[in-house]
Structure 1
Amino acid sequence: MGWVEHVMFWHVYPLGFTGAPVRGEHDAAPRLRHLEGWLDHVVDLGLNGLLLGPVFASQSHGYDSVDLHRIDPRLGTLDDFDALVAASHERGVRVVLDGVFNHVGAGHPWARRALAEGPDGPYARWFRIDWSDPAAPRFDDFEGHSSLVALNHDEPAVADAVADVMTTWLDRGVDGWRLDAAYAVPPRFWAGVLPRVRAAHPDAWFVGEVIHGDYAGIVAESGIDSVTQYELWKATWSSLLDGNFYELDWALQRHAEFLATFLPATFVGNHDVTRIASRVGQERAVLALVVLLTVGGVPSVYYGDERGLTGVKEDRLGGDDAVRPAMPATPADLPPDGAWVQDVHRELVALRRRHPWLVRATTEAVELTNTRYVYAARAGDDVLHVELDVTGSPRATVRDASGVLFTFGP
């Protein structure tokens, strides 16, 4: 799995990116072809991974699946998917899929059969169901969302089904899986399933969505390769917003501990959070990107962040729409005002490409105040010095022994 040490992802939420209807009436269209037209943009940024949000048939937003073996008709057909994977691989771009294996949509055939067959039916064991009122059995759900019914991960048939789904799409050419809501699944489940999948695909990469908790312990117990580094994400924007680099330094000390046992999946934006430019402004967002690309881990850039897009996540129906926007037919159709942000992304990605050891680099504070932070990113004899300053206008500098490699600000 050496490819993981050299991959940097472009993270896309396909239903939003392609303008597919999420609520109301659904249609069928080859929208994945739209995404295929952006692959040269990915390569131009210097990225070589495509981290795809849900692509499987679902009821609405993709995380309420109804068929994990079928491409969502709103995105196209199996042929459209195969074409996207082939076009990606032709450009040296790895493809990782979003696997929703903690729960399924309430309309999934498995759930319908469980209710239809009753508590003694075989599919009843696939879920945790309260049958105390025979007229109104109740599924355990995911975090209070009744449309998302939780699977019973103690049922061997569920493990068989998940292993089959994973293997099927790896057989089809994908390179790995993001395990949605991995924090809600018992680690022993992954520990039982993943060796079966790896037997056929030893180079596959598995990253679990984990928000809080003992990251290293979860990795060790579950056998997954990586988890989403939400601690560092939060500390990065919070330190920049509040002028408190002590928080970031503390998170990077924790990050160094994680790097001793696994490569965390790092990010400053994704499909579930307010855009970094909305959090801290475009200029401070550049400093967040400097952190992302000069510390250890497997980084990803959320689509549109490379153009400084804004969007605020809200706790309401449709509250994710602003951070999951449709994109135009080609990158050339983007408005020009974010071009400078794209240039900065390209420059910093190139810097990391020239220093591939950064994937395992740990950091040490050289200078630390509330509003100024200088750290050394180091792996063996290799070292970069990174300076962040929000005392006035945001400034950043990256240098090595030969001099300045990157600078931003006045």
Structure 2
Amino acid sequence: MTDALLVDTDTDTDTESADARRTAAATWWRQAAVYQIYPRSFADADGDGLGDLPGIRSRVDYLAELGIDAVWLSPFYPSALADGGYDVADYRDVDPRLGTLEDFDELIAALHERGIRVIVDIVPNHTSDLHEWFQEALAAGRASAARDRYVFREGKGASGEEPPTDWESVFGGPAWERVEDGQWYFHNFATEQPDLNWDHPEVRADFLKTLRFWSDRGVDGFRIDVAHMLTKDLTEPLPSRAELEQMPQDGNHPLLDRDDVHEVYAEWRRVFEEYDPPRTAVAEAWVSSPERRAKYASAEGLGQAFNFDLLEADFDAAEFRTVITDNLAQAAETGSSTTWVLSNHDVTRHATRYGLPPLAGRPVKQGTEWVAAGGPQTDIDRDRGLRRARAATLLLLGLPGSTYLYQGEELGLQEVAAITAEQRQDPAFFRGGEYDGLGRDGCRVPLPWSADGPAFGFGGAVAHLPQPAWFAEYAVDVEAADPTSTLSLYREALRLRRLLQTGEHLEWVETGRTDVVRFARPNGWQVVTNFGTEPFPLEAEHDAVVLGAIQAGAVPGESTVWTMPDVLSE
């Protein structure tokens, strides 16, 4: 099976050149700039207030002009939206509110025509409670084969009225839900997301079918949701919540990051290798150590795993340098390439985080008082947050490895806080849990495409989440016309990155300051980031600046510049 991007109608007599192209096609992900699209909030073609696949297709020229190498589509499958689409009712179809399989095929073709690869989200830990398997399990009753695909248990107490354990779900509240006949099912997340039993051969076989289904339609890779949660050891007696929390995540934890999960991914790898070029994958694996994360990034498994270390770091030179050094070393050990990310659909946007007091170890998944209070703008330094966000992004785009960008960050969007309880959709808001009860709606508000008109050009009269009035200043049409805008900066940075990106190494250049980091790439490209507020002088005879602003021969505070020995031609 051949990727549409690789079809070559010319007879190739240069074997070495053909081999080089095959290698490049198989390893495109190692240095890629990947743009995450949250489909329901990107663009709405039919005007119902919910983003859709035709809406994305209508913006493929925007994506091409941005200069990305691939898009990652968050779930677009049939879903009741109990968890923003991560409650999947059918893994091999499109939610009719978002389009059809034909729309998906047309979107893939349009992106491939522009040289943009496609990664789709796979959600293997749980299904929706509307999935046909779960509905069958409810109807079949106790001790049925249908219930074996999930995790059902009898309750405690005289009549089984108490849950099997006191475990809590990620979103807060009990991790068990009782069904009509008295049994309980396990759900790590929302009650509408029953966990699958990955010891069941039908579960494993069905996901292999799903991987082939989308690969056959031209998908280039997969992002694996909570890749560390699939396999479980629920041998009786089950531990209490307190006991569970004390258990090390060393490969033998009952619920998290078990060694046997890699048997699943070895099977998946064999499927990926059936294709030419092989399909790729990246794991979302929140694990306890770099050594544990490396298992997901192995060539025998998924091949790459997210590192969220910079996403969890403050805007601090020492933290950034440590994270970069450590993750490049980890990537070298696994033979993978590392991943860099500052924002995604689960966390407060980094333009906002950097305008707030330091995290100081506080998880970025948790909220802040200004969000809880409705986000009065006096509580955040928006200008400083955006300035730091631009600096951090330029640093990331200068690093070896792949970079994952989240829709709207190229506009410098801030988190939207002014969302009432009636307007919110995220189960994390309603149930509490590790998101501190504030939820993730604020980073999922539909994008502003134009400063004027209903829903800022998103489509329709009203977007499914409220867009604030200040979105007008961040609209695509406004920023596209401004050469100093964040959008213009991203476009130029991604253009230059394609020309400059070479090798998978860097060399640190000492600066004599603890608040400035500087590194050089093998071709002489250098990146200088001033995390402090005092200007950092560049030597007068130094290389020409190709991106970023120099003031009086110095890098201003909280900014990044790129330099090269020779100025690049246009």
Per the normalisation by structure 1, the TM-score is 0.87
- Match in the other structure for 1:326: 446
Displacement of 1:169 after TM fit? Answer: 0.8
Q: Distance in 2 between matches of 1:348 and 1:48?
A: 13
Kindly name which structure, 1 or 2, has the bigger radius of gyration based on alpha carbons: 2
Q: Is the 8 A contact 2:400 2:501 kept in 1?
A: no
Is 1:73 the equivalent of 2:62? Answer: no
Q: Is the 8 A contact 2:339 2:402 kept in 1?
A: yes
Q: Is the 8 A contact 2:108 2:219 kept in 1?
A: yes
Q: Distance in 1 between matches of 2:537 and 2:183?
A: 57
| 1:315-354 mapped onto 2 (5 Å cutoff) | 316-317=429-430, 319-328=439-448, 334=475, 336=478, 339=482, 340-354=485-499
Is 1:35 the equivalent of 2:176? Answer: no
Q: Percent identity?
A: 27
Displacement of 1:136 after TM fit? Answer: 2.2
Decide whether aligned partners of structure 1 residues 389 and 161 sit closer, same or farther in structure 2, where only a CA change above 3 A counts.
same
- Could you tell me which of 338, 346, 350 is aligned with 1:272? 346
1:134-193 deviation per Cα after TM superposition (whole angstroms, max 9, x unaligned): 8322222124x2221111112111110001011001101111110111121322221223
- Deviating more after overlay: 253-262 vs 210-219: 210-219
- Match in the other structure for 1:7: 32
1:403 partner letter:
A
Is 1:207 the equivalent of 2:207? Answer: no
Is 1:285 the equivalent of 2:389? Answer: yes
Q: Distance in 1 between matches of 2:537 and 2:478?
A: 24
Any idea what SS the aligned residue of 1:266 has?
A: strand
What stretches of structure 2 of length at least 5 have no aligned partner? 1-25, 161-178, 231-260, 355-384, 418-425, 431-437, 458-474, 552-570
Is 1:181 the equivalent of 2:256? Answer: no
Decide whether aligned partners of structure 1 residues 18 and 121 sit closer, same or farther in structure 2, where only a CA change above 3 A counts.
farther
Displacement of 1:391 after TM fit? Answer: 2.2
Is 1:57 the equivalent of 2:78? Answer: yes
| 1:7-406 mapped onto 2 (5 Å cutoff) | 7-18=32-43, 31-60=52-81, 61-132=84-155, 133=160, 135-143=181-189, 145-185=190-230, 186-200=261-275, 202-213=277-288, 214-220=292-298, 223-235=301-313, 238=314, 240=315, 244-260=316-332, 261-280=335-354, 281-311=385-415, 316-317=429-430, 319-328=439-448, 334=475, 336=478, 339=482, 340-357=485-502, 360-364=504-508, 366-367=510-511, 369-376=513-520, 378=521, 381-392=522-533, 402-406=543-547
Q: Distance in 2 between matches of 1:180 and 1:384?
A: 35
For the aligned residues, what is the CA RMSD? 3.0
1:264 partner letter:
T
Q: Distance in 2 between matches of 1:116 and 1:396?
A: 72
- Deviating more after overlay: 173-182 vs 339-348: 339-348
Decide whether aligned partners of structure 1 residues 396 and 193 sit closer, same or farther in structure 2, where only a CA change above 3 A counts.
farther
1:68-98 deviation per Cα after TM superposition (whole angstroms, max 9, x unaligned): 1110111011111111111111111111101
Q: Distance in 2 between matches of 1:297 and 1:212?
A: 20
Q: Distance in 1 between matches of 2:267 and 2:532?
A: 51
1:354-398 deviation per Cα after TM superposition (whole angstroms, max 9, x unaligned): 12215x23453523644222233x3xx43432211132278899x
Q: Is the 8 A contact 1:101 1:180 kept in 2?
A: yes
- Match in the other structure for 2:462: none
Decide whether aligned partners of structure 1 residues 401 and 393 sit closer, same or farther in structure 2, where only a CA change above 3 A counts.
closer
Q: Is the 8 A contact 1:393 1:409 kept in 2?
A: no
Any idea what SS the aligned residue of 1:183 has?
A: coil
1:209-237 deviation per Cα after TM superposition (whole angstroms, max 9, x unaligned): 123332213323960111111013223xx
Q: Is the 8 A contact 2:511 2:518 kept in 1?
A: yes
Any idea what SS the aligned residue of 1:405 has?
A: strand
Q: Is the 8 A contact 1:284 1:394 kept in 2?
A: no
Displacement of 1:331 after TM fit? Answer: 9.9
More strand by share: 1
Q: Is the 8 A contact 1:219 1:227 kept in 2?
A: yes
Aligned residues: 393
